[in-house]
Amino acid sequence: MKRLSLFLFFLFLIFIVYYDMNVGTLPTVNEPSVKESINSVEEKTKPSIPFHEVKVSEGDTVLSITEKLHSGLPAPIDKIIEDFELLNENIKAESIIIGETYLFPDYTQ
């Protein structure tokens, strides 16, 4: 029984080495890396939304600034927040900072 187990283990080990040498478990040099594919997707989906640059004052929110720019809400709230976050990468609409300048969508067109 020990010999059979040892023989099966040896066959399994040979199969693993064969698989790694022919198919491989690591990415090859010719395949694009994950970062490259993510960057190419981001470049294709960059928005072409017209915008205003606005410096945030105390008490301002994304919606209040958008209301000031357009004399009311020109689009649904979800759309305004989505467009703001598209224009300002890695910035959430609820976490804007006083004194910073952000891009706000322009809906006048």
- The verdict on 100 and 53 lying in the same domain is yes
| Dist CA 109 CA 97 (whole Å) | 28
Residues 38 and 53 occupy one common structural domain: no
Specify the number of domains making up the chain.
Answer: 2
Task: State CA 44 to chain mean position distance.
Answer: 12
Question: Are both 12 and 33 inside the same structural domain?
Answer: yes
Q: Looking at the structure, tell me whether residues 78 and 100 fall in a common domain.
A: yes
In this structure, the answer to whether residues 35 and 54 fall within a common structural domain is no
Each residue's pLDDT tens digit, 44-82: 555 578 888 999 999 999 999 999 988 888 889 999 999
Residues of the domain holding 84: 49-105
Same domain, 60 and 84: yes
This prediction's pTM: 0.55
pLDDT in tens, 83-99: 999 999 888 989 899 99
Contact 33, 43 (CB under 8 A): no
pLDDT classification of 10: cutoffs 50, 70, 90:
very high
Residues 59 and 100 in one domain: yes
Residues 6+ apart with CB under 8 A from 72: none
Please choose, from the candidates 37, 95, 82, 16, the residue with its C-alpha nearest in 3D space to the C-alpha of residue 104. Answer: 82
Which two tokens mark 27? 């990415």
